[in-house]
Amino acid sequence: MPNQNKIYQVEDLTQKLKDAKSTALLQYQGLTAGQINQLRAEVKKQGGYIEVAKNTLIIRALQNIGVELPQKLTGPTALAFATQDEVTPLKEIDKVNKKLKLTEFKYAIYQQKLLAQDKLQQLLSLPSHTQLISQLIGNISNPLYRFAYDLKFHQTKLLLLLKALASKQPAN
């Protein structure tokens, strides 16, 4: 019979899975305590957080939101929750993974659906929310800047033409 503490932990994980914009299940075996703390700090800077939980509790929380894993979870598992931007915290983990080669994505959940590894890689290749906004602003403002430059250029050209005509006029 499950004790009250485990029931609370499952309910807490379920709520965090519902609230997160995306979640990744990570294999973190082999990381030192310092590396885990550094990873947590980097993910926190990017608008997410990492939490370690028992595999059985993770599986029950996933079942509560309607996600079934194709394989049983093995080894130590950490959950990386992205709360502000769907991609940026996961990209930070991927960047650390490429450097250390110790962490590994087991699964990812986006919009409460399980993502396959290829879909996860597609998600990681997307630009972040701030990059998309800056690209949009650049795409909107670029034609406006060109239009303003063209107007100023034609005004300058007209003034130079009038100045040249005035200098060619005979003084009366």
Domain span at residue 99 reads 4-126
At 120-137, the pLDDT tens digits run 888 788 777 778 888 888
Residues in the chain, pLDDT under 70: 1-2, 100-103, 170-172
Total domains in the fold of the chain: 2
Task: Look up tokens 């996600």; give the residue.
Answer: 67
135 and 150 both lie in a single domain: yes
36 and 120 both lie in a single domain: yes
pTM (predicted TM-score) = 0.70
93 and 37 both lie in a single domain: yes
> Domain holding 16: CATH number?
3.30.70.1730
Cα→Cα distances 58→35, 76, 146, 169, Å: 23, 11, 54, 88
3-state helix, strand, coil in the chain (%, to 5): 60, 15, 25
Final residue in a domain of this structure, among 92, 109, 126: 126
Strands ordered across the beta sheet of 77-82: 48-53, 77-82, 22-27, 104-110, 113-115
13 and 23 both lie in a single domain: yes
43 and 89 both lie in a single domain: yes
Q: How far apart are CA 121 and CA 106, in angstroms?
A: 12
